[in-house]
Every structure is written in C-alpha cells, then in structure tokens.
Amino acid sequence: MRRVEQIMGFPVSFDIREPVPGAAVDWAVDWLREVDLRFSPFRPDSEVSRFGRGEVPLDELSEDLLDVLEVAARYEARTGGAFRVWPPGRAFDPSAVVKGWAVQRAAEILELAGARNFCLNAGGDVVVRGGPEPGKAWRIGVRHPDLADTVCAVFEVVDGAIATSATYERGEHIVDGRTGRPANGLISVTVIAADLTTADTTATAAFAMGTAGITWAAAEPGCEVFAVDTERVVYRSPGLGVR
C-alpha cells in the first residue's frame, strides 16, 4: 500500500510492503490531523496556543501535551537550555518535539495493525520497520545542503528512525534557547535513533547548540550523527554507516 497525505504543512507518505487493513492507515492519518489541530502554534484555538496565552492551567492540560512537555523539559536540561520550547522573547512552540512524537505514534498504529515492513516519511523525517523486500534495508537519503536535487549521504536503516534539522528548507527557524536568537554554526544535523521522538528532538537540540551539539548528540544513548557545519565540514559519529 502506498499513500500520500498533506498534513501539518508537509507531505506524509506511507509505503507498506504487506497487506494491512486500510482502516489502519486512516487511523494513522486521522491521528496526525488531530495533532495538527490540537498542537499547532499557528491555530489560535489549539491547546498549544491557548496554553501559551495562559488560558489553560498546567493541571488541565491533556495527557498528550503533558507528555510533550516532559520530553521538552528533559532535553532542555540535557542541553543546558539551548533547546527550549519557550525561548526568551518568543511564543510557546513545542513543534520540535511534536512532529517526531506524533509520527512515531502513527508508526505504532501501523504496527498494531500488523505492518512489519514499512516506511513512514513525514516531510523528510522517517520511521522504518523491516525492509522494502526480504534481506534489504530501507535506503534513506539526506539532501545536499547546497543542491536541492542532490543527496549528500544515504543511510541504510532496518528498524529505526532518521531526522534532519537544517536551514536549507525553512531558513534560520531554530533558536538557541539560551539567547533567543537563531542558532548558528551548523547547516544540517541528521540523527539516526530507535524512534523518531528521539531522532527528531535530538537533531533539533544539537542544531540549537551549534557545533558543540555534534559531540553532544553523538554521546546521546542510541544516537548516530551526520552533520555539516557552515564551513561545509562534514562530521560522522564513529558507528555511522554511510554511502
């Protein structure tokens, strides 16, 4: 089964290599659309926007948003404040956690329905299980920082997730939570981990830290890192396989 949906402002593609009920994909899509409604900082009536304006007290938040806040607090502590969902002088925005967290849960929905070999790609952040065919891994490319139609690395992943934080698609949108200013020093950070919550949040956190984030991310449990700095120097963590 192959299917593409536009959700959260980017394409979400499902590539499932064995029969599963179509309702399972519908369920995963509905979940992602629900997340967009509830957690988008661009919707004034979302739970995130209402909490950011002080209209919803902490003890009335949904379990889902509390879960997201717990992840955010953990990464804020680990990065010395470089990663923050409420940086100085800016509005509350947990998107750096929400995307990976939500897509990871969508992947778990597919697994509950019996999918064992699939690729779920959400705007370039990817969760995979099994392989596209027996004995083969999924091959995930990372965009070249200067050439939009070229990849600079290809990773083979069987059961895991891969996420990239970069400036080349959305400009300087990642903020250093210690200063409230755009992060600098890196063009892109790609992280491979067991789940997309970890991969996506770690990639964003590392980017927010600047070049120091490369060593930090590579030391995070279960994470492998591929990064390019503003001088076009490429870094790879020791355990990373790349083609």
49, two tokens:
């926007």
pLDDT at 148: 87
Q: How does the average pLDDT of the chain come out, rounded?
A: 94
CA end-to-end distance (rounded Å), the chain: 28
DSSP state of 58: G
pLDDT at 21: 85
pLDDT at 145: 87
Specify the length of the chain in residues: 243
Q: For residue 55, what are the contacts with CB-CB under 8 A and spacing of at least 6?
A: none
pLDDT at 51: 97
pLDDT at 22: 85
pLDDT at 175: 92
Confidence of residue 41 (pLDDT cuts 50, 70, 90): very high
Mean pLDDT (whole number) for 35-46: 96
2, two tokens:
């192959």
- Which is nearest to 129 in space by CA: 121, 141, 138? 138
pLDDT of 171 higher than 70: no
Kindly report, residue by residue over 85-132, the tens digit of the pLDDT.
999 889 999 999 999 999 999 999 999 999 999 999 999 999 999 999
Structural domains of the chain ordered from first start: 2-236 (3.10.520.10)
How far apart CA 201 and CA 100 sit, in angstroms, is: 7
pLDDT of 243 higher than 50: no
pLDDT of 173 higher than 60: yes
Let me know: does 131 contact 117? Beta carbons within 8 Å: yes
Kindly report, residue by residue over 201-236, the tens digit of the pLDDT.
999 999 999 999 999 999 999 999 999 999 999 999
Mean pLDDT (whole number) for 163-169: 87
- Judged on CB neighbours under 10 Å (0-12, 13-18, 19+), 53 is exposed
Mean pLDDT (whole number) for 127-150: 93
Let me know: does 234 contact 226? Beta carbons within 8 Å: yes
Q: For residue 200, what are the contacts with CB-CB under 8 A and spacing of at least 6?
A: 96, 97, 99, 100, 101, 103, 125, 161, 163, 165, 191
